[in-house]
C-alpha cells in the first residue's frame, strides 16, 4: 500500500492537534460544570508549558513545567478536600491504569488516605466530540471497579455504572 508507514503530514498533525485541543476545552467545561454543581471553591489547576521549537519556529514538543497532583481542586460540604484528575478517551476504548502517571496515582492515593475525596473523571469522546462524563472515586476498592488496578483497564459502561452523580 502506497504511503503505509509514513509519518502523518504536517497538515494532518495540525488538524489532529486542533481537534484534541477542542475536545480538551469541551471536557474542561463539562468537568468544571460538574464540579461547580457539587462543591465550592472549585479551581482548575494550571501549569505552564515548556515548548521546544525547531527550524522555522515549528513546535517539536511540549512538556509541563512541573508535575501537579491533579487537574481540579475543590472543597466539599463540611470542608473535605476534593482532588480530581481528568482523562479524555474515546468511549469505544478502555481507560488504562497506565493512563494515569505514577505521580498522579501517588497523589490521588495520598489525598484519599489523608481523608480527602480523590476522583478520576473520564470524559468519553467519539468522532463528533464529547459523549459523556463518568466520575470514579479513587481508589476503587469496594466497588465493581475493584478490578481496575495496575496492568488493568476499565470499560466505559463499568465507569458509568459506578460513577458519582
Query: In this predicted structure, what is the pLDDT of residue 130?
Result: 65
Domain housing 92: 10-162
Phi then psi dihedrals of residue 131, to 5 deg: -100, -45
Residue 115 DSSP class: T
Map residue 123 onto helix, strand or coil: strand
Q: What is the pLDDT of residues 40-64, one digit of tens each?
A: 999 998 877 788 888 888 888 877 7
Closest CA to 13 of 60, 57, 63: 60
Over 46-81, what HEC string results? CCCEEEEECHHHCEEEEEECCCCCCCEEEECHHHCE
In tens, the pLDDT along 103-141 reads 999 999 999 999 999 999 998 887 766 678 889 899 887
Looking at the structure of the chain, the number of domains it has is 1
Rounded to two decimals, the pTM is 0.76
Cell of 89: 478517551
Is 4 a domain residue?
no
CATH of the domain at 118: 3.40.1350
Burial label, 32 (beta-carbon count in 10 A; 0-12, 13-18, 19+): middle
Q: Is residue 1 part of a domain?
A: no
Residue 2 lies in a domain: no
Q: Is residue 3 part of a domain?
A: no
Q: How many CB atoms lie within 10 A of CB 12?
A: 10
Amino acid at each position: 500500500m502506497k504511503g503505509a508507514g509514513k509519518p502523518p503530514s504536517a497538515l494532518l498533525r495540525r488538524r489532529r492537534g486542533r481537534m484534541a485541543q477542542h475536545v480538551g476545552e469541551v471536557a474542561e467545561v463539562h468537568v468544571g460544570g460538574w464540579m461547580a454543581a457539587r462543591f465550592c471553591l472549585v479551581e482548575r489547576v494550571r501549569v505552564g508549558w515548556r515548548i521546544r521549537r525547531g527550524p522555522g519556529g515549528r513546535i517539536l514538543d511540549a512538556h509541563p513545567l512541573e508535575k501537579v497532583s491533579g487537574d481540579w481542586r475543590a472543597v466539599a460540604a463540611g470542608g473535605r478536600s476534593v482532588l480530581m484528575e481528568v482523562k479524555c478517551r474515546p468511549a469505544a476504548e478502555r481507560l488504562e491504569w497506565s493512563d494515569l502517571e505514577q505521580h498522579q496515582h501517588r497523589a490521588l492515593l495520598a489525598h484519599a488516605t489523608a481523608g480527602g475525596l480523590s476522583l478520576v473523571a473520564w470524559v468519553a469522546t467519539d468522532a463528533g466530540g464529547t459523549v459523556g462524563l463518568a466520575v470514579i472515586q479513587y481508589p476503587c476498592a469496594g466497588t465493581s471497579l475493584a478490578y481496575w488496578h495496575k496492568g488493568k483497564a476499565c470499560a466505559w459502561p463499568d465507569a458509568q455504572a459506578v460513577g458519582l452523580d
